[in-house]
Amino acid sequence: MLKTKGFAAQDATSALGPFQFERREPGDLDVLIEIAYCGVCHSDIHQVRNEWGNSVYPMVPGHEIVGTVTGVGEKVTRFKVGDLAGVGCLVDACRTCDSCQQGLEQFCQTGAAMTYNGTEMDRKTPTYGGYSNQIVVAEAFTLKISPKLSLAAVAPLLCAGITTYSPLRHWKTKSGDRVGVVGLGGLGHMAVKLAASMGAEVTLFSGSKGKEADARRLGAHNFVLSSVPNAFQNLGGSFDLIIDTVSAPHDLNQYLGLLRVEGAMVLLGVPPTPAPVSAFPLIMGRRTLSGSLIGGLPETQEMLDYCAEKGIVSDIELIPVQQINDAYERMLKGDVRYRFVIDMKSLNG
């Protein structure tokens, strides 16, 4: 077994702190990665605090993992020692169901193995995430990372990047489409960059007055401060796609009314409580309300290659792991510009 250093939550209410645990020795088809950086996703906070009611402790969060390969099993063909590698939200799946066969491993019909707060496919070995110095992952669930981009700023692509890229592709965003993005945090800022890179006219809806200049710098063409009265006047019926990244309860109906006929709103954020949906904005125009979960392995690699080609990375604030609890508090206040990334060297500090 491999002795591993990490940061863990021991229960839903205490701060994260140092934690030692063991990972398996790499098998024939496994890759061992020394983790350089791990992004901090709002899903980490939801799960650390058991807001979705499914948390298992101790929990080592983190599913935006990048680093360097330090060992490969005998049958590994796509990676060698010294290569850059990435791991997102999935570390395994059944690999045989219809969803897996289609490269939609996130929808594995037997339940995929999540990178943390889950188990391996044996359904008993707990998985531990990227707030740690190393990880062992099946080659089939390991992503290729281009050396062209800043490695720390690539980390958030493994969740925030793919989660926003996937719906843009699914709804076939193209030049001239009108795309709305709700919430400018980790997912929101990637949605703005990616939608703008596809030629869309992007409107950012934010509850934070101070984010307009950033939104425009990131590629948004319009900014709507959602908290002011009449903010939505004159916007009705014009959006092809609205991507909702908000992590807390909020009114969905006001956004549904902004879609064009047969336009779609896709929920990415996962507030802990359900939201009421009114039938009227949906029936008036056969509009769709949908959701989307990260992306499968082929699409995640496609997104990483797309970002390498276009020079797209996340805007990050690098922190030592000892600052993780403060970072969570800042994220809860919407005060993140626009992704915290942990420098894993700090685990030795």
Contact footprint for ligand NAP (CB under 6 A): 41-43, 46, 159, 163, 183-188, 206-208, 211, 245-248, 250, 268-270, 292-294, 331, 334, 336
Residue type, 131: Y
Cis peptide before 58 (omega within 30 of 0): yes
What is the Cα–Cα distance from 251 to 240, expressed in whole angstroms?
Answer: 19
From the list Zn ion, ligand NAP, none, partner contacted by residue 245 (C-beta under 5 to 8 A by kind): ligand NAP
Nearer to ligand NAP, 56 or 248 (CB): 248
Asked whether 215 and 208 are in contact (CB, 8 A), the reply is: no
Q: Which of 268, 217, 276, 223 is nearest to 242 (CA)?
A: 268
Q: What DSSP state is assigned to residue 9?
A: B
Nearer to ligand NAP, 7 or 165 (CB): 165
Q: What are phi and psi of 58, to 5 degrees?
A: -65, 145
100 interacts with Zn ion by CB under 5 A: yes
293 interacts with Zn ion by CB under 5 A: no
318 interacts with Zn ion by CB under 5 A: no
Q: Which stretch binds Zn ion (CB under 5 A): 97-105, 121-129, 211-219, 238-246?
A: 97-105
108 interacts with Zn ion by CB under 5 A: yes
What is the Cα–Cα distance from 266 to 6, expressed in whole angstroms?
Answer: 34
Nearest approach, Cβ of residue 288 and ligand NAP (Å):
16
What is the Cα–Cα distance from 153 to 178, expressed in whole angstroms?
Answer: 27
Nearer to ligand NAP, 6 or 295 (CB): 295
CB neighbours of 74 closer than 8 A, spacing ≥ 6? 28
CB neighbours of 107 closer than 8 A, spacing ≥ 6? 99, 293, 296
157 interacts with Zn ion by CB under 5 A: no
As to burial, measured by CB atoms within 10 angstroms (0-12 exposed, 13-18 middle, 19+ buried), residue 280 is exposed
Q: Which of 38, 335, 325 is nearest to 157 (CA)?
A: 38
41 interacts with Zn ion by CB under 5 A: yes
321 interacts with Zn ion by CB under 5 A: no
Nearer to ligand NAP, 53 or 176 (CB): 53
From the list ligand NAP, Zn ion, none, partner contacted by residue 304 (C-beta under 5 to 8 A by kind): none
Nearer to ligand NAP, 19 or 205 (CB): 205
Q: Which of 104, 142, 165 is nearest to 307 (CA)?
A: 165
Nearest approach, Cβ of residue 11 and ligand NAP (Å):
20
From the list Zn ion, ligand NAP, none, partner contacted by residue 185 (C-beta under 5 to 8 A by kind): ligand NAP
Strands 239-244, 178-182: pairing kind: parallel
Nearest approach, Cβ of residue 288 and Zn ion (Å):
24
Nearer to ligand NAP, 21 or 232 (CB): 232
93 interacts with Zn ion by CB under 5 A: yes
Nearer to Zn ion, 54 or 227 (CB): 54
Nearer to Zn ion, 160 or 202 (CB): 160
Kind plus residue range of the DSSP H or E element containing 3 = strand 2-8
From the list ligand NAP, Zn ion, none, partner contacted by residue 100 (C-beta under 5 to 8 A by kind): Zn ion
**Residue 189, CA distances (Å) to 99, 115, 204 in order:** 29, 23, 9
Interface ranges with Zn ion (CB under 5 A): 41, 43, 93-94, 97, 100, 108, 159
